[in-house]
Structure 1
Amino acid sequence: MEMIEPMLSKLVEVDVHLSGVWNSEPKLDGERIIAVGEGDKISLWTRRHIESSYKFPEITNDLKKNIKGDNWILDGELTVPGGFRKLLKRNTEDKTKISILSRKLPATFNLFDITRFQGEDLTSKPLAQRKKILLDVSSPGEYLRIIPFKIVTTETVKDHFEKSLKDGYEGLILKNASSRYESGKRSDNWLKIKRTETIDVNVVGVTRSTGSIAFGALILEKDGQYFGKVGTGFSDMDRREILDFLEKNREETPILLPENVDVLFTTRPLPAEIKANEIVGGKPRAPVWVRFRWG
């Protein structure tokens, strides 16, 4: 049984208007995982289609003990104490290190959805019903947790968001309680509000597009060093206007760019702002475009 493409959420502001019944869940700082159980075999798939069950024996053991049935697909977030940066330490192929880290830095699999159980496809069922099935077929374990959820309205979104931050989470996920599971889609039925920082950067170029959009991403520089790329936060019209603006500012960049950056052309440094929830390895994690800065 193959993994299912995860349903994705859209980034919105805290003043979002909701219609109907919605659930709120804390946004965790980890890695999205699709868990597939088929007989005695359990697979843990990342969004990049990397099978990682061998790296997290504590999770597969807990799933075997705490999930009923032998044919299921679960959706959740893998976390370790200290957040995503600490989770990167678990990314090793060394069997000895895996054994040590599973005890010294154990992960938790935080479940929030189920899309298949005992051969039945549950994706067309409303979220509220899938949540009930998830609670019926799973029980918490030492390394297994079912993410709590609450009913939220337009009037209470801000309160839920602020409490989520106070409790140490990185934001809030809002889910339409009547929505089906839209595999592989970034849906209006799942929304996320994140704690973010605005970061001052310079745009120094643009990458090629792999499709019909005007460009792939903007190349960033900060403090004289390559600072990654930003490829989200634009509409198609924004991309065309930005590309026209960049064309007028073509120039050889003085900074060294990685060989794997597919450069369309470079520009003089153009002051700008991006949003990112943290910096990992000297680069912004999941950056979002904000604007060019003038003056």
Structure 2
Amino acid sequence: MPNMVDPMLATLTSPEVVLIGSWLIEPKYDGERIIAVRSGDEISLWTRRNIQASYKFPEIIKALKDNIDGDDWILDGEMTVAGGFRQLLNRNVEDRFRISLLSRKNPATYNIFDIIHHEKDLLNLPIIERKGILMKVVHPNTNIAIVPFHEVEKIEEEFLYYIKQGFEGVVIKNSYSKYEPGRRSDQWLKIKKGDTVDVNIIGATKSTGSIPFGALLMEKDGKYFGKVGTGFSDQDRVDILKLLIENQEPLKIKVPPKVESEILVTSKPLLAEIKMQEMIKRSPRAPVWVRFRWND
């Protein structure tokens, strides 16, 4: 019987990255990461944060039952709907009647890019072999697709090609990489498009581990603008925390109570630049640290 596994994560990089050896490239979809598990007659869908999402996608459950060989497997993929991530958010409801209506009005597609269990554990097989198994046991239909892939040659050209095709970016995977549950690995790399936006950094939150801080607090136009917690090197974190401590002053804007309880240090506003995918309800989606804007 297969158990739920935490998804393997890719490390963010740039189109100028230099690769050694054999690597595969595939498009990055604008959706939600989903692990699908079948054990006997039961199929379950799990988000990256281990939340059950099966009831939200009845059309996918049926498609998986009818179009995947075997009754003992674990798949990894991206759930999408027409219109992108904003439309996918509409499926985040509890009402069964509304879910049924949405599944017919704007059905989802499960875009599968990996198989990590099929009658036996496949975690230690190279991804090129797992892809071969995937293509044998998955029979695509209107609700299930296999993510296309091929050996990468010119990274920057192919990245721009996929962006023009409307994808969010690309993921590049070492052809011989094993599946490492829950780990952000340098054997999987992602390159994403993103818009930049100017913000003020006004503090940092506590870290739950050994790093100097968890995330930076952002302010824009006099209002709280969320947190940015990725894009830093280890040395960046050390230097930034030192800078915030040197510029300490009390917060002058309101932040959510949960955020307030996490605060490590607050600072006078320091102009910075972040990358983001888009704005969702006045907050940046997937913000990534770029730099302080000292000379602007």
Given the two structures, how large is their TM-score scaled by the length of structure 1?
0.97
Q: Give the letter aligned to residue 73 of structure 1.
A: I
Q: Give the letter aligned to residue 152 of structure 1.
A: V
CA distance in 1, matches of 2:265, 2:75: 43
Q: Give the letter aligned to residue 49 of structure 2.
A: R
CA distance in 2, matches of 1:4, 1:146: 20
Query: What is residue 265 of structure 2 aligned with on the other side?
Result: 265
Cα deviation digits, residues 123-166 of structure 1 (max 9, x gap): 1111111001001011101200011112112xx11111111011
Cα deviation digits, residues 41-65 of structure 1 (max 9, x gap): 0000001100111110000000001
Alignment of 1:126-145 (within 5 A): 126-145=126-145
**Which 5+ residue runs of structure 1 have no aligned equivalent?**
none
Alignment of 1:187-266 (within 5 A): 187-261=185-259, 262-266=262-266
Query: What is residue 6 of structure 2 aligned with on the other side?
Result: 5
Secondary structure class of the residue paired with 2:258: coil
Query: What is residue 61 of structure 1 aligned with on the other side?
Result: 62
Cα deviation digits, residues 23-44 of structure 1 (max 9, x gap): 1100100000000001110000
1:253: how far off?
Answer: 2.1
1:266: how far off?
Answer: 1.7
Secondary structure class of the residue paired with 1:121: coil
**Which 5+ residue runs of structure 2 have no aligned equivalent?**
none
Alignment of 1:1-295 (within 5 A): 1-118=2-119, 120-153=120-153, 156-261=154-259, 262-294=262-294, 295=296
- The total of aligned residue pairs comes to 292
Q: Give the letter aligned to residue 34 of structure 2.
A: I
Cα deviation digits, residues 178-224 of structure 1 (max 9, x gap): 11111111111111111011110000111111121111111001111
Cα deviation digits, residues 68-94 of structure 1 (max 9, x gap): 000000000000111111111100111
1:254: how far off?
Answer: 1.8
Taking only aligned residues, the RMSD between alpha carbons, in angstroms, comes to: 1.0
1:281: how far off?
Answer: 1.6
Secondary structure class of the residue paired with 1:169: coil
CA distance in 1, matches of 2:30, 2:37: 22
Secondary structure class of the residue paired with 1:257: coil
The 4+ residue runs of structure 1 with deviation greater than 2 A are none
Cα deviation digits, residues 162-183 of structure 1 (max 9, x gap): 1101110011111111111111
Cα deviation digits, residues 71-120 of structure 1 (max 9, x gap): 000000000111111111100111111111111121100000000001x1
CA distance in 1, matches of 2:244, 2:93: 40
CA distance in 2, matches of 1:148, 1:241: 41
Q: Give the letter aligned to residue 69 of structure 1.
A: G
Q: Give the letter aligned to residue 28 of structure 2.
A: K
Percent identical among aligned pairs is 57
Q: Give the letter aligned to residue 223 of structure 1.
A: D
Cα deviation digits, residues 227-253 of structure 1 (max 9, x gap): 100111112222121111111111122
Given the two structures, how large is their TM-score scaled by the length of structure 2?
0.96
Q: Give the letter aligned to residue 109 of structure 1.
A: Y
